[in-house]
Chain A
Amino acid sequence: MATINLSSTHTFPCLRSLSSLPRNTPALSFNSQVKAKPSLSLRSISLKPYNTGSDKPRTWLVASAVKNLGETDPIVLPGNEEAAAEVPSGTGVYAIYDKNDELQFIGLSRNIAASVSAHRKSVPELVGSVKVGVVDEPDRETLTQAWKSWMEEHIKGNGKVPPGNESGNATWMRQPLKKKADIQLTPGRHVQLTIPLEELIDKLVKENKVVAFIKGSRSAPLCGFSQRVIGILESEGVDYESVDVLDDEHNYGLRETLKKYSNWPTFPQIYLNGELVGGCDILTSMYEKGEVASSFKK
Chain B
Amino acid sequence: MGVTKDQVEASLKAKLNPSHIEVIDTSGGCGASFEIEIVSEQFEGKRLLERHRMVNAALEEEMKEIHALSIKKAVTPEQWKQQQESTKPDAAAA
Contact = CB atoms under 8 A, between A and B. Distances in A.
Interface residues of A, number: 13
B53 A279 contact: no
B63 A265 contact: yes
B69 interface: yes
Given A264-B53, A265-B63, A278 B70 contact: no
A66 B47 CA distance: 44
B68 interface: yes
A263 B60 CA distance: 11
Interface residues of B, number: 12
A266 B53 CA distance: 11
A282 B48 CA distance: 7
B51 to A, nearest CB: 9
Nearest to A225: B68
Interface of B: 48-49, 52-53, 56, 60, 63, 68-72
Q: Which 8 A-B pairs have the closest CB atoms?
A: A265-B63, A281-B71, A278-B49, A265-B56, A282-B48, A281-B70, A278-B52, A282-B49
10 contacts: A264-B53, A265-B56, A265-B60, A265-B69, A266-B63, A266-B68, A266-B69, A281-B52, A281-B70, A282-B49
Interface of A: 225, 263-266, 276-282, 285
Contacts of A225: 68, 70
B82 to A, nearest CB: 14
A74 B89 CA distance: 41
